[in-house]
Structure 1
Amino acid sequence: MSLGTKVRQFREAKRLSQDDLALRLDVTQSTISNIESDKSIPNSLLLKKIADELEVDVNNLYDDRITNISNIEKNDGIVNTGSGTVNMQSPELIESILKNQEQMAKLMESQNKLIEALLKK
């Protein structure tokens, strides 16, 4: 099952419309639509926000073709899924990356506020 299909199923289970989820995530409805139709893949920060909002573990959103070892070919840590190449990572490493990206986003937000304050002077 694709990431988009899983997002849609978890969203519908929470009885949220695409508009509702988009509003909660501060993105457009078309962003949610594109994710659910597998036209786009969210970055790791947005993926974490989606998982948090839908109250699921981020690992539950990954495409089954990536996590099902019987359906993939391994080659030095790189996985060929038939529809692209994915670098396999441990859940702990993924969580660490997501936390670092959240911290970076907060730092960038603080930096932007400081710059705005300086420009007002």
Structure 2
Amino acid sequence: MSIGTRVRQYREAKNWSQEDLAMRLDTTQTTISNIESDKNIPNSLLLNKIAQELEVDINDLLDDKSNVIFSNNEFKDSSSAIHQYRPIINMQSPELIESILKNQEQLTKLIEVQSKLIESLLKKG
């Protein structure tokens, strides 16, 4: 069962519309629809917010026991279990990189401003 299907089931259990959930998450109904129809996989931050609003553990949204099959304490198909979560990592990686780059730019600007300030103070002194 997919993340989107689980989100829909938990949302419907609360008798909420997609719009109700979207409003609680400060997002759009289209976003919720795309998640529930598996067109988009939410990043970890949004997934965490969804779990909080639906009052479920985030692992309940991620858990898919059918993809992890144990036999004699070994994975029969470990690659399917790994591939199941790869899209989440890939979805948030560009966002994480973008955030890091923005922070680096801000730090660079701050250092430049501090250097100019120190330089002007040394000239006055």
**Residue number in structure 1 paired with 2:69:** 70
**Residue number in structure 1 paired with 2:118:** none
Q: CA deviation at 1:81?
A: 4.6
Identity value in percent: 60
Q: Give the RMSD, CA atoms, in angstroms.
A: 2.9
Distance 1:86 1:61 in 2: 12
Distance 1:49 1:57 in 2: 11
Structure having the higher strand fraction is 1
**Residue number in structure 2 paired with 1:3:** 3
Contact 1:80 1:86 in 2 (8 A): no
Where do 1:4-19 residues align within 5 Å?
4-19=4-19
Extract unaligned runs of 5+ from structure 2. Answer: 71-75, 87-95, 107-125
SS state of the match for residue 38, structure 1? Answer: coil
Q: CA deviation at 1:86?
A: 3.4
TM-score by length of 2: 0.58
Whose radius of gyration is greater, 1 or 2?
A: 2
Where do 1:95-110 residues align within 5 Å?
none
Where do 1:24-63 residues align within 5 Å?
24-62=24-62
Structure having the higher helix fraction is 2
Extract unaligned runs of 5+ from structure 1. Answer: 88-100, 112-121
Q: Give structure 1 regions of 4+ aligned residues with deviation exceeding 3 angstroms.
A: 84-87
Q: How many equivalent residue pairs?
A: 85
